[in-house]
Amino acid sequence: MNVEIRDERFRQVVGCDAPVEELATGFDFTEGAVWNHVETCLIFSDMPGNVIRKWTPANGIEVFRQPSNMANGNTYDLQGRLITCEHATSRVTRTEHDGSLTILVSHYDGKELNSPNDVIVKSDGSIYFSDPSFGRMEYYGVARDAELDFRGVYRLDPESGDLTLLVDDFDQPNGLTFSLDEQRLFINDTMRGHIRVFDVDADGGLTSGHVWAELAGDREGLADGMKIDRQGNLYTAGPGGVHVFAPDATCLGVIYVPQGVANFTWGDADLRSLFINAGTSLYRTRVNVPGRKLF
């Protein structure tokens, strides 16, 4: 089987098996997959290749933007505009409907951000993103010294442009996702190999952070991209592939992938296809519980 079942609920959420199909390969390092349900296409980054790519069932792989400033994580805002984290420039940008680029944020407290990595949008339009230092390393970004002495997670108010530092005690914060009711925020710490969870205050701030789950396994892969499906099950990149957790923090099992997984998203018409960024390739498998639309 292509899965490791650790709890019988895995069969209802994912299935008894999850064969992985290679859709395309030959990239440098794939990341940041997001599904556009209006245009019926997948957008994803090839960081070292300095390009954002598009995949459609009809045309396969096309170039969406090149150069991309070594883009990493992507999401959509409530208006269906692409929000992107850029490693080479330490910026979070927005692609307008006419294709032009708007810089949303690049500095905190007068200092350049490390390298925004992953990003999500709350139902009130606020933008949350992680800011590890991976994009200041060779290959994954542009080698340069950090101006900040911490690696944090931020909230950006899209109306005022105010940037709020939410938490700064991570080793390397990475993937992040809200619970279905947006009362909690889950954040991966890549180098510590665990998921932390925080309560989300009425003003969008975070409190009561603690370790929610550890990622166990001896195969290739680290804590990276993370998302919630329609029933509140949490999927995260981890050792061996994609780890699936129930809302009660039980690890239901792992979908094995041939290369180390960086990110993923649900797509296709029923949102039951899991598109997976792993190493040099783009993969797809099918699951039972659908994902959710981003806008």
Q: What is the pLDDT of residue 201?
A: 97
According to the model, what pLDDT value does residue 1 have? Answer: 81
pLDDT at position 69 is 98
Question: Of 119, 123, 150, nearest to 204 (Cα)?
Answer: 123
The 3-class SS string of 171-235 reads CCEEEEEECCCCCEEEEEECCCCEEEEEEECCCCCEEEEEEEEECCCCCCCCCCCEEECCCCCEE
Residue 67: asked if its preceding bond is cis (omega within 30°), the reply is yes
**pTM listed for this prediction:** 0.98
Query: And the tokens for 104?
Result: 């949303």
Distance CA 252, CA 194 (A): 16
Q: How many CB atoms lie within 10 A of CB 289?
A: 18
Residue at 293 is within a domain: no
Inside any domain, residue 295: no
The closest alpha carbon to 92, from 46, 126, 54, belongs to 126
pLDDT of residue 108: 98
Cα angle 151-242-219, degrees, rounded to a multiple of 5: 85
> Can you give the chain as a three-state secondary structure string?
CCEEECCCCHHHHCCCCCCCEEEECCCCCEEEEEEECCCCEEEEEECCCCEEEEEECCCEEEEEECCCCCEEEEEECCCCCEEEEECCCCEEEEECCCCCEEEEECEECCEECCCCCCEEECCCCCEEEECCCHHHCCCCCCCCCCCCCCCCEEEECCCCCCEEEEECCCCCEEEEEECCCCCEEEEEECCCCEEEEEEECCCCCEEEEEEEEECCCCCCCCCCCEEECCCCCEEEEECCEEEEECCCCCEEEEEECCCCEEEEEEECCCCCEEEEEECCEEEEEECCCCCCCCC
Number of domain units in the chain: 1
Question: For the chain, how far is it from start to end, CA to CA, in angstroms?
Answer: 35
| Residue at 135 is within a domain | yes
In a domain, 292, yes or no: no
Question: Is residue 294 in a domain?
Answer: no
Spell out, as residue ranges, where the chain has pLDDT lower than 70: none
Evaluate whether residue 22 is within a structural domain: yes
Q: What is the CATH number of the domain that holds 195?
A: 2.120.10.30
Contact 72, 87 (CB under 8 A): yes
Amino acid of residue 165: L
108 within 8 A of 102, measured Cβ to Cβ: no
* Structural domain contains residue 13: yes
**Residues in the chain, total:** 295
- Give the C-alpha separation, 152 to 173, whole Å: 7
Considering only CA atoms, give the Rg of the chain.
Answer: 17
Query: What is the residue range of 242's domain?
Result: 3-286
